[in-house]
A = this chain, B = another copy of it.
Amino acid sequence: MSSTFNGNISFSVFGESHGPAIGVCIDNVPPGESIDMDKLMAFMARRAPKKDKTSTQRREKDMPQIMSGFLNGKTTGTPLCALIQNTDQHSNDYAALSRLARPGHADYTGALRYRGFNDVRGGGHFSGRLTAPLCFAGAVCAQILEKRGIYVGAHIQEIHGIKDKRLDPIHTTRDMIIDLHEKDFPTLDDAKGAGMKADIEKARMSQDSVGGIIECVAINVPAGIGSPIFDGLENTIAQLVFGIPAVKGLEFGAGFDVAKMLGSENNDEFYVDERGHVVTRTNNHGGILGGISSGMPITLRVAFKPTPSISQPQETVDYSALKNETLVIKGRHDPCVVPRAVPCVEAAVNIALLNHMLEYPNF
């Protein structure tokens, strides 16, 4: 199943970049949850191409039309299907791609997987555009979680080696998260953000692209959510996060830095705080122990490769004719996917959290 997530919530993402529409069908959304469409659109707008030069010049409203499962402003509990029409395709830009594999792209592997029958225009089903339905699903889940006090926020933590501060893994608040949601280019340190934007613009001017890292936090997740071994929070977040194009790495809490640590440094000692809650003094475990939430903030970092579509000439192959060729990619592409991927990472985490919270009584 390429495009289906099956859990307590199931959803299927469908569509091709240059087909009639893309969308998502979500099953097992709880009934009676009010969805504020303005808020939902604000979530999705964060994924839409930026008005500045950090992203593709393709412009689409990405207005989801809800086809089912929603009545009088509330979820009905039956499958929630949303459609997003494709409107601003320039399919001609992609004519040559049906033969030439773009380096770093799924053109070649997709052609093998689908025996040459898949739609290659604009990347087809592999397009980053398919993160719009992911964001729709994530935005719905976020609203359901926020009503229970759970907030998920993310920021651009690194672009091409320029690093933002790290999120506070203990004291991040709802207000800090909402502040990030409202930023056009979400960093904690705006001066660093300005440097990143300049670097992205520089890459764009060089017909190049840059990669980066998104850091994400979820606060107020109740302790005890998730399951051991293959169905923990980390497993589910991982399955969803690796569904976002260009992701090459994922770490929780102290992540890869644990390789340099002693147990006595890494272990997060527990104590009972003034409210009588069990908490930890540090949060190297990233809020998850044995696949299950500890009640501490859940923290993760996701590495995104530089946009593979760059307009410099590149050596590649014509995989039909099996001969070497030089490719010059046309079309409109983001010089960096990271800014637009921020809500996508949040979406994946929101879906994973709601998925596991539905296992529990009294949700």
Instruction: Identify the A interface with B (CB < 8 A).
Output: 1-6, 10, 12-16, 19-23, 25, 27-28, 31-32, 65-69, 71, 74-81, 83, 101, 103-106, 108-110, 112-119, 124-126, 130, 158-161, 203, 208-213, 223-232, 234-236, 238-243, 245, 247-256, 258-272, 276, 278, 280-281, 284-286, 288-294, 301, 303-310, 312, 314-317, 319, 322-324, 361-363
Contact = CB atoms under 8 A, between A and B. Distances in A.
Contact of A292 (B10, B109, B290): B109
Contacts of A1: 6, 10, 27-28, 227, 230-231
Task: Give the one of A80, A83, A249, A252 with max B CB within 10 A.
Answer: A249
A15 B68 contact: yes
Given A158-B259, A208-B263, A238-B242, 10 more contacts: A2-B291, A14-B81, A16-B68, A109-B294, A160-B262, A245-B290, A248-B253, A249-B255, A259-B303, A263-B305
A250 B263 contact: no
16 contacts: A2-B230, A4-B6, A101-B278, A104-B267, A106-B289, A109-B226, A110-B290, A112-B292, A125-B229, A203-B262, A235-B243, A238-B241, A249-B255, A263-B310, A271-B315, A272-B317
B235 A242 contact: yes
A79 B116 CA distance: 15
A12 B31 contact: no
Judged by DSSP, the binding face of A is mixed
Number of copies: 4
A4 B269 CA distance: 31
Contacts of A81: 14-15, 23, 25
B243 A79 contact: no
